[in-house]
Amino acid sequence: MQVKTFEALTMNDAIKSVKNEFGNDAIILNTKEKTIDKKNKMYEVTAAVPETTPSAGASAGIAAFKASNQSSEISEQLSSLDQRISNLTDILPRKSSINNLEGGIEELKALLLEALRTKENHIISQIPKSMTKLYRQLSLTGIDESELAKLITYLKDLPDPTENSNKIPINMGDHYQSQAIRWMLKRISITPKWTPVSGTTKIRAFVGPSGSGKTSAIAKLAANYHKQHKAKILLVSFDQSKLGSNEQLRLYAKILGVQFETINSTKDLEKILDKNTDIDMVFVDTAGRSPKNSQLIEELNLFQESSLPLDFHLVLSITEKQAQLDRAIRSFSALGISSLIFTKMDESWSYGEIFNLSTKWSLPLSFFSTGPRIPDDIERASKERVVERIFGL
């Protein structure tokens, strides 16, 4: 396996370098934007391509082909492809434009909250002025109004801190924020650490909607446990829904130096484990499909009905709307979800949904994926980290 990092002043040029070096078989592992100075940026693309060993005849043919000048037709096709890539790059929305749009949405939400504050019978019009800022802040971060109502009721029932202040000035806004943090910390649940136990094989199956970042999260976890805990890892793909669905995980396994297998049933996995009794942790990547797909749930139920020591972990993208995240949890809940893993934390403006979903469904949190880099951008979930994200501490 060849892995190489390419740098260029534009993303288009970096991709061209990948194509020129590795050809059409290249797989993009990571992209990164680096700031050189106030005006200039550098784009970095990490790509990989499987090792190939051509025969002597093939090597001679390739050398002759490169030396020849009779490849004009292919050159024209490549030139056309370059132009199409360039056109696509030009019409893609810039990150700054997206940030400006999201910032505008946040401002509109703030204006709406201000209008609601004066609306009769709305909760924000009934709370003390010293709690208004806290309410507005938490509402903007996505905390459900039902949860906010519980919080405000809790804060109202607290003893008045000014009665025992010994004439020391108290900032009521800071007081209510600290009390709100304590209230949230008590309601957030975190899974125990995933500690490999010698002589015991633990199987963890990862489920989730398409595009949730499930495969990347698995690769990050596998790399961390393989390197930091010296655990013997087996990556398993249980996804026969589309051609080539296993290749990304297979590539990750080869780069990480861990074992990889594909299966069609629980019996396949049982046979593999019978032959590999020294495996510490098994990470099973399942098909990423819509939660509406009942066939997928039925296939996964076969795992649940087996005698394998298996847990299901639901991977969700924090950038999705809460209504969609709710539907995903409702659909996969029949499997018996052991924890929630949230991805794309670096792409979100609000994190209240993490608190909402965890408390609403009584599901503990296990990991947060914080970026595209493998294996760096993943961290174990913690109560403190959730509160930091919500309050912007």
Helix (H) or strand (E) holding 383: helix 383-391
- pLDDT at residue 120 above 50? no
Task: Give Dmax (Cα) for the chain.
Answer: 92
Q: Are 12 and 86 in contact (CB under 8 A)?
A: yes
Q: Choose among 296, 279, 257, 290: nearest CA to 204.
A: 279
Cβ contacts of 322 within 8 Å, gap of 6 or more: 142, 353, 356, 357
The 27-35 sheet, strands edge to edge:
2-8, 41-49, 27-35
Spatial separation of the C-alpha atoms in residues 333 and 325, rounded to whole Å: 12
The string of DSSP letters for 176-238 reads: HHHHHHHHHHHH--BPPP----TT--EEEEEE--TTS-HHHHHHHHHHHHHHTS---EEEEEE
The answer to which of 22-36, 132-146, 166-180 has the lowest mean pLDDT is 22-36
Q: Tell me how many helices (H) and strands (E) the chain has.
A: 14, 11
Q: pLDDT per residue over 19-57, tens digit each?
A: 888 887 777 777 777 776 666 777 888 888 766 544 444
Q: pLDDT per residue over 274-295, tens digit each?
A: 999 899 999 999 887 666 666 6
Domains in the chain (CATH in brackets) are 2-94 (no CATH), 96-187 (no CATH), 202-391 (3.40.50.300)
Task: Tell me how many degrees the CA angle 74-76-81 measures, rounded to the nearest 5.
Answer: 95
The first and second tokens of residue 392, run together, are 């912007």
Predicted local distance difference test score (pLDDT) of residue 123: 57
First to last CA, the chain: 42
Spatial separation of the C-alpha atoms in residues 113 and 106, rounded to whole Å: 11
- pTM comes to 0.68
Spatial separation of the C-alpha atoms in residues 233 and 256, rounded to whole Å: 10
Side chain identity at residue 46, one-letter code: T
- pLDDT at residue 341 above 80? yes
